[in-house]
């Protein structure tokens, strides 16, 4: 067979697979619509009645230290909001409301005392003084559960904070609640056998993403000023995208992964994993990252003023056409074009459209970087690291409604058994291609370049739809492979009333550039879209 015939054959195979996959998506969407119709009308988040919920964390902190608001009032406002939205959205899995109120009163009493610290001291040393925050049920908070959505961990309570939580507390912040995740944080819909499924605040028939999906949902519904998520393949950015908020995956190695469960099983996995901020307002990204990056914050130049007009802008509208990946929605491509046009008109920046061919291998590259030695795979994780799960027996139990695991968790474990083996010829080749792709991005972006890229090919799918398009997470996953900073930025709602947006990527340690672009996009396109407001 000639090279030309071989190429033609591969193209035909790609086309056939593409048609089959698209038909499968349409069938599953039809089934989802039928199920949704049977279950009744969709719900959305209730209106906001307390205007305190509309302030950014930065503004709330300023008002508390200037004694314009009390910490107790702020914490109370968010507790009441969580109680209001939880029955509809199911985003919170554990709370410490009474303890948080007690800690808030201590903050207020300190401010009233003769020994009250100065406003300047608080702004510098305790920038989140009296501010409540939330985090996902994977990141350790002292004396709280850490289940990671795994039934066998339902009674596990941790005795110390994750490093990021410890730093948030040191900055004066008050932990308020834990939010729902996918089982063991390895799927992009937040659902598990312990706490059930979390629903999108803009339309409860749709997903919130994962694994930080409960956190993305809570932020979008104004149930918390700021949140902390973690991201190994898009687990901050996809929920941020689906819920219309800002979410940032920091440069690799900047924020400590200590206290995240499941923890990384290898150096390569640890390089993929990042803990970062999730919030409604772009200005809070810098505030939170400065805190949780601790001494590494100096590497990021977060205090450096950015001249937007000096930034080099690059973009791609899609990945070039991977197998079994949904095409990018026309509305998302249109939003990308509006962004490109905005920067050209507002800042005289002519964006360069790229064609990075290696992005067609995004899924394979991420899977190679996730490959584990010594059988410490997902089947091992599902036993809470106590052995290997009998996957076939567990499938039988699932069909008999006797399994403690989600169907997608079992499929993931099975897929890994037949996937890329660590140290194999294919694994070595893909790891080298990962390094080559990083070098390509390094050469393009330098220290003044920004890359605009879809966060996901579609707006939030309906519940369970991800089962027929499992690899759509590749748009975020490839940025984890590169270790580069990326900020998911909302760009309003589509015609169905669901959030859409893009992710902004910069060179290593150039997180300040993605934040500058995020703030500019917020000014130009409105940022988070709040629910109805009743004053």
Q: What is the pLDDT along the chain (535 residues), one digit of tens a residue?
A: 565 655 565 556 666 656 666 666 667 667 766 666 677 778 888 999 999 999 999 999 999 999 999 999 999 999 999 999 999 999 999 999 999 999 999 999 999 999 999 999 999 999 999 999 999 999 999 999 999 999 999 999 999 999 999 999 999 999 999 999 999 999 999 999 999 999 999 999 999 999 999 999 999 999 999 999 999 999 999 999 999 999 999 999 999 999 999 999 999 999 999 999 999 999 999 999 999 999 999 999 999 999 999 999 999 999 999 988 999 999 999 999 999 999 999 999 999 999 999 999 999 999 999 998 877 899 999 999 999 999 999 999 999 999 999 999 999 999 988 889 999 999 999 999 999 999 999 999 999 999 999 999 999 999 999 999 999 999 999 999 999 999 999 999 999 999 999 999 999 999 999 999 999 999 999 999 998 888 6
Is 472 a domain residue? yes
Q: Are 422 and 371 in contact (CB under 8 A)?
A: yes
> In the structure encoding, which two tokens stand for residue 196, read together?
């059930």
Q: What is the largest CA-CA distance in the chain?
A: 87
Catalytic site residue from 32, 182, 235, 379: 235
> Residue 63 to residues 4, 7, 59, 98, 296: CA-CA distances in angstroms?
68, 64, 6, 23, 28
211 annotated active-site? yes
Sheet with 226-231, side-by-side order of all strands: 92-95, 174-179, 132-136, 226-231, 274-279, 246-249, 486-493, 499-506, 449-453, 312-315, 352-353
235 annotated active-site? yes
Overall domain count for the chain: 1
Is 535 a domain residue? no
Is 449 a domain residue? yes
348 annotated active-site? no
Is 150 a domain residue? yes
pLDDT value of residue 24 = 67
pLDDT value of residue 323 = 86
Q: Are 52 and 79 in contact (CB under 8 A)?
A: no
What pTM, to 2 d.p., does this model score?
Answer: 0.94
**Distance between CA 36 and CA 18 in Å, rounded?**
27
Q: Are 317 and 333 in contact (CB under 8 A)?
A: yes
Catalytic site residue from 77, 211, 224, 362: 211
Is 149 a domain residue? yes
pLDDT value of residue 126 = 98
Is 7 a domain residue? no
Is 14 a domain residue? no
Is 43 a domain residue? no
Cα 183 to its chain centre, rounded Å, is 15
Catalytic site residue from 136, 199, 290, 469: 136
pLDDT value of residue 102 = 98
Query: Can you give the CATH number for the domain in which 254 is found?
Result: 3.90.1300.10
Domain encompassing residue 329? 57-371+420-525
pLDDT value of residue 4 = 61
């Amino acid at each position: 067979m000639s090279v030309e015939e071989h190429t033609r054959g591969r193209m035909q195979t790609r086309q056939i697979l593409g048609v089959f996959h698209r038909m499968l998506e349409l069938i599953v969407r039809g089934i989802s619509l039928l199920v949704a119709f049977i279950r009744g009308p969709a719900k959305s988040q209730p209106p906001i009645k307390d205007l305190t919920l509309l302030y950014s964390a930065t503004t709330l902190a300023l008002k508390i230290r200037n004694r314009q608001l009390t910490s107790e009032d702020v914490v109370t406002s968010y507790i009441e909001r969580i109680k209001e939205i939880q029955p509809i959205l199911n985003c919170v899995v554990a709370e410490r409301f009474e303890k948080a109120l007690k800690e808030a009163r201590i903050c207020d009493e300190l401010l009233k005392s003769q020994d009250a610290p100065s406003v300047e001291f608080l702004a510098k040393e305790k920038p989140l003084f009296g501010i409540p925050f939330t985090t996902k049920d994977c990141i350790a908070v002292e004396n709280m559960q850490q289940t990671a959505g795994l039934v066998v961990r339902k009674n596990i309570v941790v005795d110390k904070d994750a490093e990021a939580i410890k730093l948030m507390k040191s900055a004066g912040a008050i932990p308020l609640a834990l939010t729902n995740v996918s089982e063991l944080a390895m799927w992009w819909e937040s659902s598990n056998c312990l706490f059930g499924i979390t629903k999108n605040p803009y339309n409860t028939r749709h997903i919130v993403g994962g694994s930080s999906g409960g956190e993305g949902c809570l932020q979008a519904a104004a149930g918390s000023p700021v949140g902390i998520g973690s991201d190994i393949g898009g687990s901050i950015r996809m929920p941020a995208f689906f819920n219309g908020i800002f979410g940032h995956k920091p440069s690799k190695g900047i924020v400590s992964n200590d206290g995240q469960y499941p923890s990384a099983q290898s150096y390569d996995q640890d390089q993929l994993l990042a803990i970062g901020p999730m919030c409604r307002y772009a200005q809070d990204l810098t505030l939170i990252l400065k805190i949780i990056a601790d001494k590494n914050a100096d590497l990021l130049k977060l205090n450096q003023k950015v001249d937007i007009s000096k930034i080099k802008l690059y973009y791609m509208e899609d990945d070039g056409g991977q197998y079994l990946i949904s095409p990018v929605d026309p509305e998302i491509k249109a939003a990308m074009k509006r962004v490109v046009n905005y920067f050209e008109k507002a800042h005289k920046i002519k964006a360069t459209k790229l064609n990075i061919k290696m992005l067609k291998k995004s899924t394979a590259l991420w899977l190679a970087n996730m490959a584990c030695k010594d059988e410490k795979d997902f089947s091992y994780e599902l036993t809470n690291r106590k052995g290997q799960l009998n996957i076939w027996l567990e499938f039988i139990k699932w069909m008999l409604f006797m399994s403690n695991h989600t169907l997608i968790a079992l499929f993931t474990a099975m897929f890994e058994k037949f996937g890329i083996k660590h140290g194999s010829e294919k694994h070595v080749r893909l790891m080298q291609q990962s390094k080559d792709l990083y070098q390509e991005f390094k050469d393009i972006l330098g220290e003044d370049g920004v890359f605009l890229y879809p966060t996901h090919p579609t707006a939030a799918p309906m519940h369970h739809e991800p089962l027929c398009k499992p690899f759509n997470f590749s748009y975020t996953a490839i940025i984890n492979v590169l270790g580069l900073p990326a900020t998911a930025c909302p760009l309003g709602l589509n015609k169905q009333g669901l959030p859409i947006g893009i992710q902004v990527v910069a060179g290593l340690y150039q997180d300040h550039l993605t934040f500058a672009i995020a703030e500019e996009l917020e000014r130009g396109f409105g940022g988070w879209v709040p629910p109805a407001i009743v004053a």
